[in-house]
Amino acid sequence: MSETANYAQLIAQLDLEAKVRLLTGATSFTLAGDDSIGLQEMAFSDGPTGVRGLKFTGGEPAALFPNATLLSGSWDVDAAEEVGRIVAEEAERQHIHVVLGPTINLHRSPLGGRLFEAYSEDPLLTGALAARYVQGVQAAGVGACLKHLVANEAETLRNSVNNIVDDKTLRELYLLPFEIAVEDSNPWTIMAAYNDVNDLAATEQDEINNRIVKGEWGWDGQLMSDWSATKSAAPSANGGLDLVMPGPDGPWGDALVAAVRAGEVAESVIDEHVTRLLRLADRTGALGEGRAWRDVPGPDSTERQEQLSRLAVAGMVVLTNDGVLPLASDAKVALIGRHALETMNMGGGSAQVTPPYSTSIADGFAAAGIEATVVDGVPVREKALPAKAAVVKDPVTGQPGIRISFADDQGVIAEVHSLGSTTLVGLDDDLPRRPTRVTLSAQVTVSGAVQLGVIGVGSWTLTSGDQSFTTTLSVDSDDPAAGLLSPPTWSTVVSEAGLVEAVVDLGEASMAMLGLVAGPASRDADAAIADAVRAAAEADVAVVVVGLTEEQETESLDKATLALPGRQDDLVRAVAAVARKTVVIANSATPFLMPWLGDVDAVLWAGMPGQEGGHAVAAAVLGEREPSGRLVTSFPASDGASPAWEVVPTDGKLVYSEGPFIGYKGYYAGKAEAPLFWLGHGLGYGSWEYASPILISDVAAPQVRVEVTNTSARASREVVQVYFVPEGADEHVRLAGWAAVEAAPGETVAASVTCDARVFRSWDEDAAAWRVLSGGELLVARGLGDIRGRVSLG
Ligand code: BGC
């Protein structure tokens, strides 16, 4: 079949029930086929940092990419397209038709738990990167999915929150990345968000879904719901939603058939949804003969290692540097911090994958031949982690992982599985959905004192040797996915553990995430700091790795503070007080506070760098590759000092009262104390002088040319940024374009920046139409904290 296939003829062969059956998923991540019309099953997979496959946990290994904020840190649309191409290969390897990404919500408040999945606080940067990513994915016949339409910038009460956003702000900020990506790359699917927007569920937004996206923008793809986001039958079917996910249950089915029969939904509306489904199937090769899947490199192939390491370094940002970076290769280093040993290479929630391996910074330093004394840091988590598969064995088979059995309400063992992982999830199609009792057992091989515990909602009895513990765990959240995405955890320290059995009675609860905790007991923070100080005093350079964890950077939860968890600030201060030189590596996707910034000699922001993380950080620190990234979001100076901060709804509403003035737009307008670092900031390892910029053309999309000179002794890459300052206090400053250039030491090169016409518009609420902005000024800058030139417009 082809794009020109006559879908109407196929649809005419189906009765109403058969059509409606296709409009809800068949399982958690698949869609039903229909042999009578040659429609094959389709498979969907998350997501933004790797193609996880159909299982939530314990699936086949998949390549773990640098997280989105790190990828976008390169400000490189070619790299975004390359990432899309690799994502498509990962999908093809697993026979996946649609990848559920990119996430293109904006970084509104820095507290948003899920910002690590999304590119930036700026809509143009987000839209431009997304468009090229989508082009990369779809060139291989795999669908991409823009998510989440729209105004889904925080996680608190995400299923019920009513986000109040004025039309100007919606158009100029939150819809703009979707508009750019639709116009420039025609994504085959979009996902409608959990939240309400201006009193109406995102899945029911006739105005946004039908009139703007499908009408005004002419988008012909399929709009699916976020998982369990659909709240109704007729209003969502009429409101532009084409597909309910997941399945097989959901609010459509018989209720939608009845709504059609009752005249609440026209059958032509159903046909339109099926048309879009068939178009997706056609595009992804699931209509007619079915598709051939290419042979592609494995997730641990040398090709992937090279790509993922290179992409990670390109986005890393040198925030400050007195010259200590790049490190001298013979420097005697003290490498300090929990994140040095347990590097956070990904965030939490549906964006997680099971990588083939994941290199820590300590591994990376060792592999690069850096002579380092490695010292574990202070504890950084409140909750204990699931056991590593290497330290637990199935007591029957002796294989790494745990053994689980499921019992029904009569206590009869229904199924037994041996799992290579130490957690399991009820969403996974190969596990029973509603067992009454689950038993997890393992032989624990940790020596010395053991942190032992359980993960997941239910009433637990944990037995280890002759010790037995009971606990009942629950979640306090309205998010039905909270038990899966942020499960409760209980643990204790025992002097030794051998054969361990954990039995959970689920009661009425459906099975979400369950797991076993087993690992070496954590050391006391004071002792860790004392060890770090000793090692730092003896080294030439102390490299302290600090950061956030999946307790902050996760789906389903927001942060309450930007302060580093645990006593990491104390650790940095103590080390900086004794070390000759102190370098801090920031291992987080999003900003945190740096009260010790003035005490240290360099800060390298390394993002959450994916499976090649340790190697990438080592290459950046040694200068084998330049960490030439620029920030994609502003770093606030203190808690609350951000133009948009609050993420907790009041009476069910979260009002975007700052309007379009988020991030740098708000700082520039003086709506918050100046940030610690601006969007666009990043030093690389070069230094640059700018000549006066010249306006080449000032038509709708102005073009600016500026000569820049690399005044450093190293070859370097510069990202020349152009911002548009419109006339009028109601208008916000906008990133209007950028260009990256490379230059040898002493070399002068010309950067030519063509601005994007879509930011020279203002949404006129009265006329409900765009108005082209004229006049104003263009700023040439390295982030708005470092403006290097100005030109006036018209
Ligand atoms: C997330 C989506 C994701 C879906 C499927 C939801 O909880 O919001 O982004 O694609 O789960 O895993």
Contact 571, 592 (CB under 8 A): no
Kindly give the distance from the C-alpha atom of residue 24 to the centroid of ligand 1, in angstroms, as a whole number.
16
- Return the pLDDT at 699: 75
Name which residue sits closest to atom 3 of ligand 1, judged by CA.
Answer: 350
Has residue 131 got a pLDDT over 80?
yes
Mean pLDDT across 47-65: 89
Kindly give the distance from the C-alpha atom of residue 635 to the centroid of ligand 1, in angstroms, as a whole number.
27
Kindly give the distance from the C-alpha atom of residue 195 to the centroid of ligand 1, in angstroms, as a whole number.
13
Q: Which amino acid is at 360?
A: S
227 Cβ below 6 A of ligand 1:
yes
What is the rounded (10 degree) CA torsion for 745, 751, 756, 760?
110
The alpha-helical segments, DSSP class H, found in 42-106 are 68-72, 77-93
Torsion angles phi and psi, residue 665, rounded to 5: -65, -40
pLDDT single digits (tens) 715-757: 999 999 999 999 998 999 999 999 999 999 999 999 999 999 9
pLDDT category at 602 given cuts 50, 70, 90 is very high
Name which residue sits closest to atom 2 of ligand 1, judged by CA.
Answer: 226
Q: State the pairing for strand pair 694-697/688-690.
A: unpaired
Has residue 235 got a pLDDT over 50?
yes
Has residue 414 got a pLDDT over 80?
no
Show Cβ contacts of residue 730 under 8 Å, excluding neighbours closer than 6 positions: none
Has residue 477 got a pLDDT over 90?
no
When comparing pLDDT for 30 and 426, which is higher?
A: 30
- Return the pLDDT at 416: 84
Pair of tokens at residue 460: 């637990």
Pocket probe for ligand 1: among 56, 87, 100, 230, the residue whose CB has the most ligand atoms within 8 Å is: 100
DSSP letters along 135-152, please?
HHHHTTT-EEEEEEES--
User: What span, in angstroms and rounded, lies between the C-alpha atoms of 407 and 435?
Assistant: 6
- Ligand 1 atom with the smallest distance to the CA of 145 is 10
Name which residue sits closest to atom 11 of ligand 1, judged by CA.
Answer: 227
pLDDT single digits (tens) 636-667: 999 999 999 999 999 999 999 999 999 999 99
**3-state secondary structure (DSSP) of residue 117:** helix
187 Cβ below 6 A of ligand 1:
no
Has residue 259 got a pLDDT over 90?
yes
Has residue 429 got a pLDDT over 70?
no
Helix (H) and strand (E) counts in the chain = 18, 37
- Return the pLDDT at 427: 66
Name which residue sits closest to atom 7 of ligand 1, judged by CA.
Answer: 227
Lay out the sheet containing 787-792: strands in order across: 734-743, 716-725, 777-781, 787-792
Pocket probe for ligand 1: among 29, 115, 227, 554, the residue whose CB has the most ligand atoms within 8 Å is: 227
Q: Which residues belong to the active site?
A: 226
Name which residue sits closest to atom 8 of ligand 1, judged by CA.
Answer: 226
pLDDT category at 580 given cuts 50, 70, 90 is very high
User: What span, in angstroms and rounded, lies between the C-alpha atoms of 719 and 629?
Assistant: 8
Torsion angles phi and psi, residue 621, rounded to 5: -65, -40
User: What span, in angstroms and rounded, lies between the C-alpha atoms of 520 and 464?
Assistant: 15
130 Cβ below 6 A of ligand 1:
no
- Return the pLDDT at 410: 77
Which residues sit opposite 768 in a β-bridge? none
Kindly give the distance from the C-alpha atom of residue 518 to the centroid of ligand 1, in angstroms, as a whole number.
28
Kindly give the distance from the C-alpha atom of residue 425 to the centroid of ligand 1, in angstroms, as a whole number.
14
Has residue 4 got a pLDDT over 50?
no
Kindly give the distance from the C-alpha atom of residue 350 to the centroid of ligand 1, in angstroms, as a whole number.
6
- When the pLDDT of each residue in the chain is averaged and rounded to a whole number, the result is 95
- Name the residue among 22, 464, 633 with its Cα closest to residue 287: 22
Kindly give the distance from the C-alpha atom of residue 269 to the centroid of ligand 1, in angstroms, as a whole number.
26
- Name the residue among 176, 331, 208, 98 with its Cα closest to residue 732: 176
Contact 310, 629 (CB under 8 A): no
pLDDT category at 412 given cuts 50, 70, 90 is confident
**3-state secondary structure (DSSP) of residue 573:** helix
Has residue 3 got a pLDDT over 50?
no
* Buried-state track 662-697, b at ≥16 Cβ within 10 A, e below 16: bbbbbbbbebbeebbbbbbbbbbbbebebeebeeee
202 Cβ below 6 A of ligand 1:
no
47 Cβ below 6 A of ligand 1:
yes
Give yes or no for a cis peptide into 487 (omega within 30° of 0): no
Dihedral class, residue 663 (left if φ above 0, else alpha if ψ from -120 to 50, else beta) = left
Q: State the pairing for strand pair 317-321/372-375.
A: unpaired
Mean pLDDT across 43-70: 92
Pair of tokens at residue 542: 């102390």
Lowest-pLDDT range, 2-6, 128-132, 675-679?
A: 2-6
Distances (CA, A) of 271 to 189, 233, 250, 279: 17, 15, 19, 12
Has residue 83 got a pLDDT over 70?
yes
- Return the pLDDT at 408: 79
Has residue 2 got a pLDDT over 70?
no
Has residue 454 got a pLDDT over 90?
yes
- Return the pLDDT at 508: 77
Dihedral class, residue 209 (left if φ above 0, else alpha if ψ from -120 to 50, else beta) = alpha
When comparing pLDDT for 345 and 497, which is higher?
A: 345
Distances (CA, A) of 413 to 23, 404, 437, 462, 506: 35, 10, 9, 19, 15
Name which residue sits closest to atom 12 of ligand 1, judged by CA.
Answer: 350
46 Cβ below 6 A of ligand 1:
yes
Pocket probe for ligand 1: among 146, 350, 513, 554, the residue whose CB has the most ligand atoms within 8 Å is: 350
Contact 511, 426 (CB under 8 A): yes
pLDDT single digits (tens) 667-689: 999 999 999 999 999 999 999 99
Show Cβ contacts of residue 508 under 8 Å, excluding neighbours closer than 6 positions: none
226 Cβ below 6 A of ligand 1:
yes
Pocket probe for ligand 1: among 55, 226, 244, the residue whose CB has the most ligand atoms within 8 Å is: 226
- Ligand 1 atom with the smallest distance to the CA of 56 is 12
DSSP letters along 207-222, please?
IIIIIIIIIIT---SE
- Return the pLDDT at 169: 98
481 Cβ below 6 A of ligand 1:
yes
pLDDT single digits (tens) 324-347: 999 998 999 999 999 999 999 999
- Return the pLDDT at 418: 84
Contact 121, 643 (CB under 8 A): no
**What pTM, to 2 d.p., does this model score?**
0.95
Distances (CA, A) of 201 to 233, 239, 254, 619: 12, 9, 21, 46
- Return the pLDDT at 5: 60
Kindly give the distance from the C-alpha atom of residue 227 to the centroid of ligand 1, in angstroms, as a whole number.
6
Inter-axis angle of helices 123-138 and 176-185, nearest 10:
30
Mean pLDDT across 124-152: 98
Torsion angles phi and psi, residue 579, rounded to 5: -75, 150
- Return the pLDDT at 760: 97
User: What span, in angstroms and rounded, lies between the C-alpha atoms of 739 and 719?
Assistant: 6
Kindly give the distance from the C-alpha atom of residue 203 to the centroid of ligand 1, in angstroms, as a whole number.
14
User: What span, in angstroms and rounded, lies between the C-alpha atoms of 81 and 72?
Assistant: 11
